[in-house]
C-alpha cells in the first residue's frame, strides 16, 4: 500500500521532498495494517507517525496539511480528482479518501 501511495502522490504532482509526502505514504501503510483506524481516528495516526519519526503529532498534522494543500492547489487536477476529493478537504477526509481509492485499485488488480 505504501508504494501505491507513493506512486499516486507522485502522479498527483506532490513534491517528494515535502515532509508530508512521506507521512501520507506511511499513513496509508498504517491504515492497511489496522483498518479500524479509518473512521475518525486521524489523531491516532498522527500519534503513531510522530512516534515513528521522532516528531510531534501537531507537526505531523501540519506537514500532511501542507502537502495536501500543495497538491490541491498546484497538482495535476485529473490525477487529484482520481485519488482525492475537492470538497471537505480536511486531512482526515483526504487520508480516508486516498486510502479507499487505493484500496479499490488494489481490489481491481486481483
C-alpha cell at 47: 500519534
pLDDT at 85: 87
pLDDT at 26: 95
Domain ranges within the chain, ordered by starting residue: 2-109
CA geometry: angle 104, 10, 88, nearest 5 deg: 60
Q: 52-91: b or e for each residue (b if 16 or more CB lie within 10 Å)?
A: eeebebeebbbbbeebbebbbeebeeebbeebbbeeeeeb
Q: 2-109 in CATH: which number?
A: 1.10.10.10
pTM recorded for the entire structure: 0.90
pLDDT at 37: 62
Q: What is the pLDDT along the chain (110 residues), one digit of tens a residue?
A: 889 999 999 999 999 999 999 999 999 998 888 766 655 678 888 999 999 999 999 999 999 999 999 999 999 999 999 999 888 888 989 998 999 999 888 666 65
Amino acid at each position: 500500500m505504501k508504494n501505491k501511495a507513493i506512486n499516486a502522490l507522485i502522479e498527483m504532482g506532490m513534491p517528494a521532498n515535502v515532509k508530508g509526502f512521506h507521512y501520507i505514504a506511511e499513513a496509508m501503510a498504517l491504515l492497511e495494517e489496522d483498518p479500524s483506524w479509518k473512521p475518525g481516528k486521524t489523531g491516532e495516526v498522527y500519534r503513531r507517525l510522530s512516534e515513528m519519526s521522532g516528531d510531534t503529532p501537531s507537526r505531523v498534522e501540519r506537514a500532511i496539511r501542507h502537502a495536501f494543500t500543495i497538491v490541491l492547489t498546484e497538482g495535476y487536477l485529473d490525477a487529484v480528482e482520481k485519488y482525492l476529493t475537492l470538497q471537505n478537504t480536511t486531512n482526515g477526509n483526504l487520508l480516508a479518501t486516498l486510502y479507499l481509492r487505493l484500496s479499490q485499485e488494489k481490489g481491481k488488480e486481483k
